[in-house]
Structure formats: structure tokens, C-alpha cells
Amino acid sequence: MKFCDECGSMMQTEDDTWVCTQCGYEEGRDAADEADMVTTQGQEESEIIESSGGTSGLPTTTAQCPNCDNDEAYWYMQQIRAADESETRFFVCTECEHKWREDDH
């Protein structure tokens, strides 16, 4: 993949030339440079493993479920806000599977 030196957009090949899809800038192709580019050709396919779903693979912690008062829950972290803000921790009750979250304040 090559990006335009003028506007930064992705370029496409047309015969022996790289052409910018946005501004039309053209640049000659160089076989040595292209040999160093990473492609998906020749990469091994990964095996897809069927998941039974659920939360059994998540770690557990002591947390009081607001729904059934159970004191154990699965937990995981997820980035749901801007990248410069902290992640949100989600809990799933091990008994009733009620889901709630804990935000940093």
C-alpha cells in the first residue's frame, strides 16, 4: 500500500504508475520498494474456533450484583469513550447474568 506524498490519500496502481485517488498525483512504480511492502498474499489462514458464547471464559471478581445480591461476577474492560479517556469495566453476574458497568468518576 502506498500513500500520496501530496495529500496523504491511498494510491492505486495503473500499469507502471502509482496514481492518487483523490488529487491525481502520479509517481512511477519501483519494484524494489514494492518488494518490501507487506501484503496478505501468502499469509496462512487462521483456524476459526466455534465459541459456545456466554461468559465462562472471563475472569471473575468479588462484586455485588444490584439485581440478585450475588457477590461474584465476571468482568471485562471495553473502550467505549474517546481514546484519551479510561476504559469502562463491565460486570456480568455469575448467578442471574445481570450486566452492569463501572465508570471512573
E strands, the chain, are 11-14, 17-20, 26-28, 60-62, 72-78, 88-93, 99-102
Q: Which of 85, 95, 102, 103 is catalytic?
A: 85
User: How open is the CA angle 38-41-47, to the nearest 5 degrees?
Assistant: 110
Active-site residue flag, 84: yes
Rounded to an integer, what distance in angstroms lies between the CA atom of residue 59 and that of residue 57?
7
> Does 4 show up as a binding residue in the annotation?
yes
Q: Which of 36, 47, 84, 104 is catalytic?
A: 84
In sequence order, what are the beta bridge partners of 19? 12, 26
> Does 92 show up as a binding residue in the annotation?
no
> Does 7 show up as a binding residue in the annotation?
yes
> Does 68 show up as a binding residue in the annotation?
yes
Q: Which residues contact 103 (CB under 8 A, 6 or more apart)?
A: 88
> Binding site, residues?
4, 7, 20, 23, 65, 68, 93, 96
Q: Would you please indicate which residues are annotated as catalytic (active-site) residues?
A: 84-85
Residue set of the binding site for Zn(2+): 4, 7, 20, 23, 65, 68, 93, 96
